[in-house]
A and B are shown apart, each in its own frame.
Chain A
Amino acid sequence: MNIIVVCLLSFLVLPQMPWWFIAVLSSIVGLKSKGLLSTVFSGFICGALPWTLVLIYSYNSGVDLLIHRVSGIFGMDGITGAALVTIAVGGLIGSLGSLCSYTFTVAFKDQLIKE
């Protein structure tokens, strides 16, 4: 559910914000995450999915030539290179964002328990 909310939020907020704001949005899923793996996974999705969907939409809306050439920078054709880099970078930043909030939450909880 959180993932869907973050993705929807991304479409609304990211056009007005710098690229790294995707890490801030992805951190939302880390706040209520139940484990490290699921945090990384949901952060990855929140980072990679919104960007990749825009990429795919653009590719199918007449921006294919530009995307093809950008894929060429990474040694690939079509949308493949651009998509892989988008997924990798978006996913990594999303994962790190969610991990941040997750570790913060865990540390905060531990602190509360200790107190």
Chain B
Amino acid sequence: MVTIFVVYIFDNKLGDLPPLGKFIDPYHGYLALHNSDQLPDTHILFDSLIDSVNVTWDERRIPHIFAKNEHDLFFVQGYVHAFDRLWQMEFQVMAAGGRLSEVIGSKALDYDRFQRRLGMMRGAENVQDFYQSDPTMLHSLQAYTDGINAYINSLDPDQYPIEYKLLDYAPEQWTIKKCALLYMYMAWELSGSTNDLAHTKFLKEFGVQNYRDLYSFDSPLLSPIMPRETEWDFDPVQIDAPDDIYMSDPYGDGIKYQPNPNNGSNNFAVSGSRSKSGLPILANDPHLNLTLPSIWYENHLITPEFNAYGVSLLGAPCVVIGYNKDIAWGSTNGMNDVMDFYDITFRNELKEEYLHDGKWKQVSLSIEKIKVRDSETVLDTTYMTHHGPIMSHDIFDKMPRFGSSVSVGRAMKWLASEPSMEPKTFYLLNKARDYDDYLHAISYFNCPGQNIIFASSDNNIAIWQTNKLIPKWDLQGRFIMDGSDSSHDWKEKLPIEHQPHSLNPSRGYLSSANQNPVDSRYPYFVPGDYAPPFRGARIDQILDETHSATYKDLQSIQNDNKSLLAKRVVPILLETLDKDRLTPDQLEIFKHLSDWDYFYNPDSKMPGIFDLWIKKISVSTWKDELGDADEDVEWPNFRILSDLIADSPDSKWFDNINTKKAERLSTLSMDAFDEVSKKLLEELGSVGEKWKWKNFRGTDVYHLAKIPGFGRMHLPTGGDWNIPNATARTHGPSWRYVVELGDRPRGYGIYPGGQSGFPGSVHYDQFLDAWVKGELYELHFPYTKEEINGHSVNFIPGESS
């Protein structure tokens, strides 16, 4: 009995423990995978292929897929993606769709419920239905899906990727719905954030003028994405605002599981007037969570009508960021506020009807089944209004304004829940030849809002912010709105030509770094959680001085480590310190800070203390009035703090309301410096090796499921989120690339990972060390298969092998 029991234990996953017996069995466990990254033989037969396809993998294992038609191209792309990254592509969409409980059990139930209530699964189903209206996209997605399934069906259970063995489950068939879920996942990663509750709380306590002071978008420091000289040559649509700002009771829960605020990106392009070749150069580095396997997969797609190189998302066809013979494109997150919340007044506690414009509207129910591993299936009900799902319906007891006789909930309106055709944008960009094709392509993009930059060999550069613009009155959507008043509802989207954009500006370059897209001259209110202006301003500062540029100049901007925030505030903060109160060691730090060039290079010794110092000042400035920063409270960003430091050292916000003394910047700064410098001296000793930024912070790249041993820790990086090289501890440039347009474009790129998702492969983290150094690989861009050397495999029509 004991033996059977122990065998059972080792044959099944228990809690976080893998099924150890199965896993370590050298014949069927992880060791059975030792050859699993070996490329296929010289030919493979597939009955669903129309014609033969050649795939040649170059020395970095980048597949160059030569097909004679699009069906075969996407079929083989699906096969190749699954070959290298099957577990990752399935795990991502299971997480997005709220299905993790099926894999890891009831501890993922709260997460899954949240994903379901957000509407990830409903959204994917709507999008899947929407695809039916476009046969071209439907066929592409179906071919891609068939390719993935062809690979899955070729696997023996012993060959399932190692994560399946550790988590003890098996891959299931891929579907088009999973492609749609992938886009929902990206929409959530890049636009699924809200601070409406936090801002409403602030508004209630401090009023609208203080709100405008501390959360405004425009600033003299801002270098907006669309150059300030841009003329808006259209008649703006009239937007009627209510007389008063609606004041919700800011109680209840905020949105938890928010995407990481470090998600951001840079892209920039110089026109021929600023390049050595006389043709544009384009660069892009999207900043995302850094994981192994990486979010991106590098590939090259070629048909007689199609020649696109770049990175793809695992689980969707085409190249997402890259270039073809004629154009190059890249993307940064728009950071627009596309998620709003509405107070909902139910008729009674049954929550069957809710008030809207004086009438009672019917609530609909969305009931979803959540399968739970080793447990019973859970049914989860979401109450739906015309705004969207009720995300929180247990808050009415806390809302004194309504009294206890009325039941109140809060509905979420999110742009991503509207059916849209983002894959078509990439499909058309892959084939685009000029600016008009680019415009047509981006017209299909809705959410997440992106700044899609463009350059073409006919010497155009352009950038458009792509999500369909919701007309909003001043401050609309910054606070929780009145769900019973239709004037607060989202109205018809603005015409596409009203969206922020710029084509061939006279200054000869364009850039975006998640900052405000426009200045206050733009005729619409475009709210968003924009990045402080320092990163964008630094990029523009360098571009402004760049002439006769080559790809190396743009590469050096991607690796630039200068902090304009530090440059702005460090000299002022040093002035606030009373040197007579400093110890000899603190005076040594003072001297280092005085001599600092404001660079966050790996060997710089001052970023660490500055980082702690400015954060401590931020805490001392805001915490007493606003409370702890969390989903209910958002502190103003570092641009606002730097404004106060530079211009208002006696600001009321520096005063600690909990003391009788009147504090000023100098008080806060001195106390903060004293505290953090003593702490660092105690932990690291006097200024030396341990103070170097690469040792102080560094970067950790975890495995996607945080499996210990499968990540790479303590990488000696420079950079930080407020500077062009936005490498942070776990976030950073997830794909750096530069393209010089020309008769034949020359591309250079790298991502922090490797092509294979198999941890036992040398291709698993192959590019990481070069990425840390800021290097780029030259990308092979053959027009024919004869132009590329490597392991070559023919996929041939015939009875599947």
Contact = CB atoms under 8 A, between A and B. Distances in A.
A65 B760 CA distance: 5
A71 interface: yes
Contact of B21 (A14, A19, A100): A19
Contacts of A73: 166, 707-710
Contact of A96 (B2, B20, B34, B707): B2
Contact of B10 (A65, A66, A89): A89
Contacts of A71: 709
Interface stretch (A1-9, A33-41, A50-58, A106-114): A50-58
Interface of A: 14-15, 18-20, 23, 51, 54-55, 58, 62-63, 65-67, 69-75, 81-82, 85-86, 89-90, 92-93, 96-97, 99-100
B709 A86 contact: no
B454 to A, nearest CB: 41
B759 interface: yes
Nearest to A65: B760
B576 interface: no
A19 B22 contact: yes
Contacts of A54: 26-27, 31
A63 B31 contact: yes
Contacts of B707: 73
Contact of A70 (B25, B30, B761, B762): B30
B31 A100 contact: no
Nearest to A54: B26
Interface in B4-50: 6-7, 10-11, 20-22, 24-31, 33-34
Nearest to B19: A19
B3 interface: yes
Interface residues of B, number: 29
A67 B275 CA distance: 49
A14 B7 CA distance: 16
Q: Is the interface of A mostly helix, strand, loop or mixed?
A: helix
A85 B20 contact: yes
B3 A23 contact: yes
A24 to B, nearest CB: 10
Contacts of B25: 14, 18-19, 51
Interface string B744-776: 000000000000001111100000000000000
A85 B21 contact: no
A20 B21 contact: yes
Nearest to A63: B34
Contact of B709 (A20, A51, A72): A72
A96 B761 contact: no
B710 A69 contact: yes
A110 B215 CA distance: 86
Most buried by A among B20, B31, B761: B31
20 contacts: A14-B27, A18-B28, A19-B21, A19-B27, A19-B29, A54-B26, A55-B26, A58-B31, A63-B31, A66-B30, A66-B31, A69-B760, A73-B707, A73-B710, A75-B708, A75-B709, A81-B709, A85-B20, A92-B6, A96-B3
B458 to A, nearest CB: 47
A85 B459 CA distance: 62
A20 B710 contact: no
Contact of B762 (A65, A67, A93): A65
Given A66-B30, A90-B24, 7 more contacts: A19-B10, A20-B11, A58-B34, A66-B758, A73-B166, A73-B709, A93-B3
A99 B27 CA distance: 25
B10 A93 contact: yes
A55 to B, nearest CB: 6
A93 B759 contact: no
A85 B6 CA distance: 15
Contacts of A82: 24
Contacts of B6: 92-93, 96
A25 to B, nearest CB: 13
A100 B3 contact: yes
Nearest to B27: A15
Contacts of A96: 2-3, 6
A93 B21 contact: yes
A93 to B, nearest CB: 7
Contact of A89 (B2, B24, B28): B24
Most buried by A among B6, B26, B33, B708: B26
A23 B2 CA distance: 12
A19 B28 contact: yes
Contacts of A93: 3, 6-7, 10, 21
A65 B26 contact: no
Contacts of B24: 19, 51, 82, 85-86, 89-90
Interface in B702-731: 707-710
B709 A70 contact: yes
B38 to A, nearest CB: 11
Contacts of A65: 759-762
A18 B762 CA distance: 29
A77 B29 CA distance: 19
Given A66-B33, A72-B708, A72-B710, A58 B7 contact: no
Contact of A63 (B11, B21, B27, B760): B760
B159 to A, nearest CB: 14
A31 to B, nearest CB: 15
Contacts of A74: 709
Contacts of B29: 19
A89 B22 CA distance: 10
Nearest to B3: A96
The 10 closest A-B pairs by CB, nearest first: A72-B709, A66-B760, A19-B25, A54-B26, A96-B3, A63-B34, A69-B759, A15-B27, A20-B7, A73-B709
Nearest to B36: A66
Contacts of B762: 65
Contacts of B761: 65
Contacts of A66: 30-31, 33-34, 758-760
A67 B33 CA distance: 11
A19 B19 CA distance: 11
A93 B22 CA distance: 12
Interface string B590-601: 000000000000
Contacts of A72: 708-710
Contacts of B2: 96
B288 to A, nearest CB: 23
Interface in B444-486: none
Contacts of B34: 58, 62-63, 66
B51 to A, nearest CB: 37
Contacts of A55: 26, 31
A20 B20 CA distance: 11
Contacts of A97: 3
A71 B707 CA distance: 12
Nearest to B166: A73
Nearest to A90: B24
Contacts of A85: 20, 24
A62 B761 CA distance: 10
Contacts of A58: 26, 31, 34
A14 B11 CA distance: 16
Interface in B79-111: none
A21 to B, nearest CB: 10
A92 to B, nearest CB: 7
Contacts of B30: 66, 70
Nearest to B31: A58
Nearest to A76: B709
Contacts of B22: 19
